[in-house]
Structure 1
């Protein structure tokens, strides 16, 4: 599905991948209903995107007049999510797809040290939020001539990462839900894509209330290996326009996808070895 001229809902639009996707979608000619839990960062995304559109020579008059609406919302609030499609249609006249980027990680601890409140919170955002969006938007999208659903899972959704076991389980659920939707929507106008980011330079740790116990040298080395949100956004929207089944973000995700399919046990041991020092800090 070509993005230009479409109305897209983008969650997690206040920062990180979601913010970059929202901005890139507008740059490509879409109108965006931007969704985020944080109204302040969401408003900043809208304001900066509008300012960029007005200052860009290639921006159309329509884009300069307004290409993004703000919808502060907690994806774990089912009633609020169920009301969202109507709000988007009221604002833009239609909705042609959603790109679900909102998500959180868990503290970097083993399962035995993780409390149930944190487990419930991670699954609430990552799994229940994804389910609510799919259930709310599917009837609307199935009525469109063409539409697209994108759910952002994680490399940790197909490869076990000690210290992120619950996060990985929630993203594995997102993976299978999305792949199931792809099968169920076959023969309709709705295309479905699942995205597997590796390391991306976002503030998901602070948004999740989590600290990564890395020293300065390790953090600096890690920063050179991860993908920018802007590159991730381009890859995701390229996937939408190519009707891709899956999109792998970053060299790390692409490499580990191949290794894990060749030798799951060895690949899991490799990641476990890298996480051991971090978990023992």
Structure 2
């Protein structure tokens, strides 16, 4: 779909990939409603954007369903239209073995990731489905494809968001609303924080067997660029990053091998 002049809501727009998606959409002359639980982070996004009336910020506390349900109307009142949604909101998990993980961590991951994705869809789908053209992009971690050791709660919640999004894709495959799933690998900030697409010069190596291997990271700029292009194309499934593409491919061809490969790579981080 066209970006110029259209209005996109970006959840998680206060930092990281979400902020970079906001900045790139504005650069491509779209209008953006940036949503985040941190008002300070949104203010910084606004300062970096220099977008005047093309950026509208919405602090929304995590789990505030009433505020989320009211958001589509607020965006329409502020911008006059609402054409697409990008969901990068979510919570992570401290690396810890499952036997040492409190049950509340699982509940928090499911609430912060799956329930958030469901609540966003519930709030925005009625409007998006009424449009001649519209887009919804949910971004998940590659941990939702192959679970990471030490992050069982996070991996479970990401897998659930993946399955939920795939259900929405199936429901809308012949409709005017294009639903997309973006699966991201390891992402690091750009060197100078100015979205120039460069990677950090010295990512930390990971011990695999007897070798120290430098992981293949993707910059926030490159990841955001993939997500913005997904909004344009409506492609139902994209995988972001060389590491994620390798894991995704192996998971399709040799599922057991993919799990053991990731476990071997991540095991040093759990110990």
Other-structure match for 2:16: 16
Moved over 4 A (4+): 221-224
- In the alignment, structure 1 segments of 5+ residues that lack a partner are 51-63, 203-215
| Pairing partner for 1:149 from 136, 139, 142 | 136
Asked if 1:264 corresponds to 2:251, the answer is no
CA contact 1:148–1:190 (8 Å) conserved in 2: yes
What is the 5 A alignment of 1:126-165? 126-165=113-152
Asked if 1:49 corresponds to 2:36, the answer is no
Q: Count residues in correspondence.
A: 254
What is the 5 A alignment of 1:112-191? 112-191=99-178
Is the strand fraction higher in 1 or 2? Answer: 2
CA-atom RMSD, angstroms?
1.8
What is the 5 A alignment of 1:186-265? 186-201=173-188, 217-218=204-205, 225-265=216-256
TM-score by length of 1: 0.86
Alpha-carbon distance between aligned partners in 2 of 1:10 and 1:171, rounded to the nearest angstrom: 18
TM-score by length of 2: 0.89
CA contact 1:36–1:42 (8 Å) conserved in 2: yes
Is the helix fraction higher in 1 or 2? Answer: 1
| SS of residue matched to 2:150 | coil
Deviation, 1:150, is 0.4
- In the alignment, structure 2 segments of 5+ residues that lack a partner are 190-202, 207-211
1:240-261 deviation line (CA, Å, top 9, x unaligned): 2111111111000111111111
Other-structure match for 2:200: none
Alpha-carbon distance between aligned partners in 1 of 2:254 and 2:125, rounded to the nearest angstrom: 36
CA contact 2:204–2:214 (8 Å) conserved in 1: no
Alpha-carbon distance between aligned partners in 2 of 1:35 and 1:67, rounded to the nearest angstrom: 14
